[in-house]
Structure 1
């Protein structure tokens, strides 16, 4: 990683966590809880990154920042890869969280990095086989994927974050069978759209997740819009006060009108 990338990572991930005003539960397991910044504004559900291995604490500054800009924000936890999660548990939790937390209220789903993967996957649940426990037609109003892991096959091939995608999917022997149900790009290619208005925002200088992943996804999804931010790395879009984060707020305001 370059000096710029290392400084950006230290700066953004070093921000002090922000305690939520409310903490709730969407299931009985210890990991099935969520932070909530309540409000009457548009609801945004945030899915955190960390290559499916790390908790949501680092995204609390963004959640609080969005709340100060008029959004109601929910930030769920879920079982993590390398611990009690992975396939299928991480996907079970995300599906349950999204089926439970909004309570029928329309919402925009947003996710960063591997949280972007989970957000794009969640919007494709209507493309899963009807017998899948994750299948639903009750989808978000729109989705914003920030520097997303949109292509699990490429993530495996490039060995991103020490084979994080293989760890998520249970190893090489299981990955091939699980990819069609877990990979946003593969799912989008089945019909050419998830039916959910989709924006992908990627920094041109991202050193964690190649911008080519978002380019490939946008090419496969006819209802997806790709926004590339010049001179922007992987973490700056989730940094409160950064120009890239102002772009995130503008897009969420636009998407919340769907």
Structure 2
């Protein structure tokens, strides 16, 4: 396999953001018995502050610590932030455990509060999947008609087939779904692009935000997902890469915070969006 080649700009961005010191959250909790079924919370002083449920990236393998500086920074921007862990591929997770945990997270942690579900990279994939759970067969254990009120996908992986084809992050998509022999059978249940091809909408207000010079996720993934999602809003940030979206105070992160303010201002009064007919 040929090593991924990236520009000096992208290499410096990745090094700078992923080397930030983790930030300890003021509140910790659990949503299950497994050691990975935990969450960090940054409650806002204002009890009525908008809630952001943040799913971390890392190609479904890595833990949430690299996102703690961004979560803490978002709290300083006036949001209450929940940053959950979940069982990850390469260890206790993958298919189905990662999806079991993420479904449980969105079904229980907001506790009925209106919220925006946000995710970066593979966390963006999981957020888009959560928005599409009403499109699953009714017999699926992940099917639900109670969906996130709004989703903000930050430079998300949207297409597991393309992720496998391009062998992103050393075949991360194959590892997530249990290998080549199981990939084809499992993908339709957890791939956002596949789930959207027929219905062409989830019924959930969804924004896909990415940088124009992202070298981590191929730009075609964003365009191909937009082509099957009729009411998707796409925001492209000129000159911004993959990681500065989660770099506290960077122009990309400021755009993320502004988009979250816009989405939270329009949240419904209850905690879930019902799919539109």
- Give the superposition deviation at 1:253: 0.5
Aligned to 1:115: 123
Distance, in Å, in 2 between the alignment partners of 1:106 and 1:190 is 28
Counting only pairs closer than 5 Å after superposition, residues 205-244 of structure 1 correspond to structure 2 as 205-244=213-252
Counting only pairs closer than 5 Å after superposition, residues 14-163 of structure 1 correspond to structure 2 as 14-39=19-44, 40=47, 41-163=49-171
Q: Which runs of 5+ in 1 are unaligned?
A: none
Moved over 4 A (4+): none
Aligned to 1:11: 16
Distance, in Å, in 2 between the alignment partners of 1:211 and 1:121 is 19
Greater helix content? 1
Distance, in Å, in 2 between the alignment partners of 1:169 and 1:257 is 37
For residues 217-242 of structure 1, the C-alpha deviation after alignment (integer angstroms, 9 at most, x for no partner) is: 11211121111112111101000111
Q: Which runs of 5+ in 2 are unaligned?
A: 1-5, 267-277
Distance, in Å, in 2 between the alignment partners of 1:13 and 1:100 is 30
- Give the superposition deviation at 1:214: 1.2
Distance, in Å, in 1 between the alignment partners of 2:201 and 2:253 is 27
- Give the superposition deviation at 1:190: 2.4
Distance, in Å, in 2 between the alignment partners of 1:16 and 1:75 is 16
User: Is 1:248 the counterpart of 2:256 in the alignment?
Assistant: yes
Distance, in Å, in 2 between the alignment partners of 1:98 and 1:152 is 22
- Give the superposition deviation at 1:60: 0.5
- Give the superposition deviation at 1:100: 1.1
Distance, in Å, in 1 between the alignment partners of 2:95 and 2:110 is 24
Distance, in Å, in 2 between the alignment partners of 1:85 and 1:190 is 29
Distance, in Å, in 2 between the alignment partners of 1:27 and 1:162 is 30
Counting only pairs closer than 5 Å after superposition, residues 196-211 of structure 1 correspond to structure 2 as 196-211=204-219
Distance, in Å, in 2 between the alignment partners of 1:194 and 1:125 is 8
Alignment RMSD: 0.8
Q: What count of residue pairs does the alignment treat as equivalent?
A: 258
For residues 2-23 of structure 1, the C-alpha deviation after alignment (integer angstroms, 9 at most, x for no partner) is: 2111110110011111111100
Distance, in Å, in 2 between the alignment partners of 1:111 and 1:195 is 18
Aligned to 2:190: 182
